[in-house]
Amino acid sequence: MILNHFILNKQTKIYNESMKILLINAVYGIGSTGKIVQSLHKEYMKSGHIVECFYGRHSIKGTDSTIKKCAFEIESKIHHLISKITGNIYGGMHFSTKKLIRMIKKFNPDVVHLHILNGYFVNVYKLINFLKKNRIKTVLTNHSDMFLTGNCGNALDCCNWEKSECRKCNHIKRVNGNISLNRTHYFYRKMKLAFEHFDTLKITNVSPWLTKRATLSPILNKTKINTTVLNPIDDIFFSHSTNNPYNSLHLKSKKIVFYLTASFDNPEKGGHNLFPIASKMPDVTFVVKSALPHKKFKELKNVIFIDDVLSQKQIADYYHYANCSIILSEKETFSMVVAESLCEGTPVVGFLSGGPETISMNEYSLFSEYSNVDLIVKNLNFILSSRFNKTLISDSAFKKYHTKTIAKEYIKIYEKNI
């Protein structure tokens, strides 16, 4: 492990002269993309680059002058409400967008790196057109389907974005609520027009699966779809402590499966599949961390819900001391759960959901068709009955996911684009 750190630190030295890098994301330091941007920000600063981060929602504490909020919260809330009727998810935001453009002009970056632009904090069309018109070197990282569809962030199995420019959308209620006007084709065309002739743009995607989808997108396929760059995993998921959090739970079972999900009740996250799985494996304890508990948790003795707010370090410990982690989503473009679990030396079992099976390490993970509970149970039993060297898994994951590795890949893309 020490050798890995030494090698990567040496490699870091080959970064060329410092650049002015601007990172733009909906949030900073919270949520998956907020933590990704935070990791890249810190790594670029360590490497001597001049970096600023502009974010849109949920003000953060601290006095770091390189992290700046670019949106007005009241405007975001008003636009969110209006968009529930108009379907205009990525427009509006007049004052916040003007503020962001002023901030970009003032910083005058060598390269702008766009991450997630949803969350009602910027007029995406105006921002893209501003960067295009002023020939500002731009890298766009696809974390979701929003730039493929011009509308929803997760198209699931819908192919209308590829075949019919999102005409007659059947998912409008799922994406934007029951009272939204169905204007998906109009906004699809608007997004496509914004990206046309954007000669200073390069696109990366967080998984090979998403890269393949992006090359099929009529919105993006005429721009420079560069490559796949995985999401970075911070140092905290490689520092294995001696604090076993499961000791305080006084578990009778010797086999533990950890399930971390942002929203257990979101059908797309597949939490409902946990209960039939757990009922078929009474000798295994399933430990769940999510935003809200489900009433069925009380019905199964081998399912435990963690109520406490957990720090990143505590989550890392839950990964590390579990025998296996599980992911049950219908569709994911990457899955930080998969990468973080492997970084902590813990194998993964899940459904085939797009991104996860293409970014995971095959020798330490098993994926099966969505909603096939029997196959998941079979795979879990196989993993739980096998012996794995956690140090070996973690060392392999370090080379694949660590922030230094990912930052280096992005720097090469920035340099080619300048």
Residue 292 sits in a domain whose CATH number is 3.40.50.2000
Tens of pLDDT, residue by residue over 227-273, are 999 999 999 999 888 899 999 998 888 899 999 998 888 889 999 99
> Which amino acid, one-letter code, is at 412?
K
Task: Give the pLDDT band (50/70/90) at residue 416.
Answer: confident
Domains: count for the chain: 2
User: What tokens does 323 get?
Assistant: 């025998």
CB atoms within 10 A of CB 38: 23
- % residues pLDDT > 70 (the chain): 95
Of the CA atoms within 13 Å of residue 43, those in its CB half-sphere come to 26
List, in sequence order, every residue forming a beta bridge with 139; answer none if it has no partner. 113, 202
| Residues 338, 250 share a domain | yes
Q: What percent of the chain has pLDDT over 90?
A: 81
Is 200 a residue whose pLDDT tops 90? Answer: yes
Q: Are residues 76 and 35 in the same domain?
A: yes
Q: For residue 1, is it within any domain?
A: no
Q: The tokens 């962030």 sit on which residue?
A: 153
Question: Taking residues 146-152, what's their average pLDDT?
Answer: 95
How many CA atoms, within 13 angstroms, populate the side-chain half-sphere of residue 397? 34
Residues 225 and 266 in one domain: no
| Domain identity same for 27 and 148 | yes
Say whether both 128 and 258 belong to one domain. no
pLDDT over 50 at 358, yes or no: yes
318 pLDDT band, cuts 50/70/90, is: very high
Least confident of 120-134, 227-241, 297-311: 297-311
Q: What is the domain extent for residue 162?
A: 13-232+402-417
Does 178 share its domain with 190?
yes
- The answer to whether residue 5 sits within a structural domain is no
| Residue 7 within any structural domain of the chain | no
Q: What is the pLDDT of residues 23-46, one digit of tens each?
A: 999 999 999 999 999 999 999 999
Two structure tokens written together for 345: 């030396």
DSSP code of residue 144 = S
**Same domain, residue pair 250 and 167:** no
Residue 125: what residue type? Y
E strands, 246-332, where?
255-260, 284-289, 303-305, 324-327
Which residues, listed in sequence order, are joined to residue 227 by a DSSP beta bridge? 204
- 151 lies in some domain: yes
For residues 201 and 282, state if they share a domain.
no
pLDDT digits (tens, 9 = 90+) for 398-412: 999 999 999 999 999
Domain membership of residue 250 (yes or no) is yes
- Both tokens of 370, joined, read 């969505």
Whether 363 is in a domain gets the answer: yes
State which of 125-139, 249-263, 306-320 shows the largest mean pLDDT.
Answer: 125-139
Assess whether 219 and 264 both reside in one domain.
Answer: no
Which among 299, 293, 341 is positioned nearest to 317, based on CA atoms?
341
Specify the pLDDT at position 252: 82
Per DSSP, the residues of 346-393 read: --EEEE--BSHHHHS-GGGEEEE-TT-HHHHHHHHHHHHHS---HHHH
* 2 lies in some domain: no
Average of per-residue pLDDT values in the chain:
92
pLDDT value at residue 16:
53
Report whether pLDDT(8) > 50: no
In a domain, 96, yes or no: yes
Mean pLDDT of 296-319: 89
Residues 357 and 412 in one domain: no
Looking at the fold, whether 222 and 286 belong to one and the same domain comes out as: no
Q: Do 392 and 406 lie in a common domain?
A: no
Strand 67-69 and strand 348-351: pairing? unpaired
Query: Which has more pLDDT, 125 or 298?
Result: 125
